[in-house]
Amino acid sequence: MILVTGANGFLGSALVHYLGAEKLEPVVAAVRRGGRSWPAKVEERLVADLDGLTDWASALKSVKTIVHCAARVHVMKDDAQDPLVEFRRVNLDGTLNLARQAAATGVKRFIFISSIKVNGEWTEEGQKFSSQDDPNPQDDYGLSKHEAELGLKEICSDTGMEFVILRPPLIYGVGVKGNFATMVNVVKRGVPLPLGSCNNCRSLVSVANLVDLIHVCVTHKSAANQSFLVSDGEDVSTADLLSMISSALDKPRRLFPLPLKFLKLGAVVLGRQDIAQRLLGNMQVDISITREMLSWAPRFSVAEGIKNATLKG
């Protein structure tokens, strides 16, 4: 039996429906609020908010594999008094509490959905992040995920439970929120954007490709006690991404070129260097190890993923 935490979330929900449709073995959807419609072989189990005190006893009955999607996610405007404390409460304490209880009840494999932010925020031109790089988290969210990875490895070393760590970049798909949803809404409104000269390279992953890889990691022997990066296998510029969204929505491409130095200067003046980095900077990942060790390749191209996300979203 496979337990998926955060089953009401964007990734968790997509994964539960994917695994349920595969009909390989029963799936447990761990949720805080019940009542959703699930595939036939999916059992819904209620759990409290994720932190270091959550009682997972009822949710863990007969479970042999966990896919831990639940998390406090990165947000652009965090209103928490101390964001790091809150990230650690959920992403660190909550993860390790679940891992300890899982090991004690005989769970064999714990798949942890981490983040590429463990590697860092950006890459130099022509370089890519690798799963073998030294971690270099730059914000509170990335730090909490890195600390959770370290704690999970220690628990697994002490108990014999296997871990699998996946570090995705931006995940997009039907129902996603955040930066990708903002881009789609801007294109729908026909807002002209000064990003026509933005020739950066960024990796991203469609939720369809990610859940497919998670499915592989549930049983693949070579996945045990390894960390993997994941992406759609092709990198795109912000300008190309917006063009693909425009094409998928059958909207005109409203991009005009403005020198990057002016865009970066404007970001500094407005105090939004973080947004400028995401729009203008490079962030590429190398998935060659993932491909080779797991005999896996992305099933959908970026264009296919964007078309699916925008037409159904």
pLDDT given at position 274: 73
Q: State yes or no: is 172 an active-site residue.
A: no
CB 111 within 8 A of CB 164: yes
| Mean model confidence pLDDT for the chain | 92
Q: Model's pTM, two decimal places? A: 0.93
Comparing 259 with 210, the larger pLDDT belongs to: 210
Tokens of 155: 């628990």
* 266-287 confidence digits (pLDDT tens): 767 667 767 767 778 899 999 9
Residue 4 has pLDDT above 70, yes or no: yes
> DSSP 3-state helix, strand, coil percentages of the chain (rounded to 5)?
45, 15, 40
Tell me what percent of the residues of the chain surpass a pLDDT of 70: 95
Instruction: Give 40-90 pLDDT, tens digit per residue.
Output: 889 999 999 999 999 999 999 999 999 999 999 866 566 778 889 999 999
Residue 28: band (very low, low, confident or very high) from pLDDT cuts 50, 70, 90: very high
| 25 pLDDT higher than 70 | yes
What pLDDT, on a 0 to 100 scale, did the predictor assign at position 39? 83
Confidence band of 16 (pLDDT split at 50, 70, 90): very high
Q: What are phi and psi of 310, to 5 degrees?
A: -80, -35
Mean pLDDT of all residues in 304-308? 92
Contact 165, 226 (CB under 8 A): yes
Residue type, 121: E
Please give the average per-residue pLDDT across 287-311, as a whole number: 94
For residue range 91-142, list pLDDT tens digits in order. Answer: 999 999 999 999 999 999 999 999 999 999 999 988 999 999 999 999 999 9
pLDDT of the residue at 41 = 84
Provide the pLDDT for residue 159. Answer: 98
d(CA 104, CA 27): 20
Give per-residue burial for 245-279: e unless 16+ CB within 10 Å, then b: bbbbbeeeeebeeeebeebeeebeeeeeeeebbbb
**Backbone dihedral region for residue 107 (phi beyond 0: left; psi -120 to 50: alpha; all else: beta):** beta
Query: What is the rounded distance in angstroms from the CA atom of residue 268 to the CA atom of residue 262?
Result: 10
Extended strands (E) in 168-301: 170-172, 204-206, 226-229
Per-residue three-class SS string for 176-210: CCHHHHHHHHHHHHCCCECCCCCCCCECEEEHHHH
CA distances from 124 to 120, 229, 237, 283 (A): 11, 18, 14, 8
Q: Annotated catalytic residue: which of 87, 141, 172, 296?
A: 141
Q: What is the pLDDT of residues 148-178, one digit of tens each?
A: 999 999 999 999 999 999 999 999 998 888 8
Q: Report the alpha-carbon distance of residue 129 to residue 135 in Å, rounded.
A: 10
DSSP single-letter state for residue 193:
B
Model confidence at 21: pLDDT above 90: no
pLDDT tens for 178-220 read 888 888 999 999 999 888 888 999 999 999 999 999 999 999 9
pLDDT at 245 over 90: yes
Residues in the chain: 313
Tracing tokens 């997972």 back to the chain, one arrives at 56
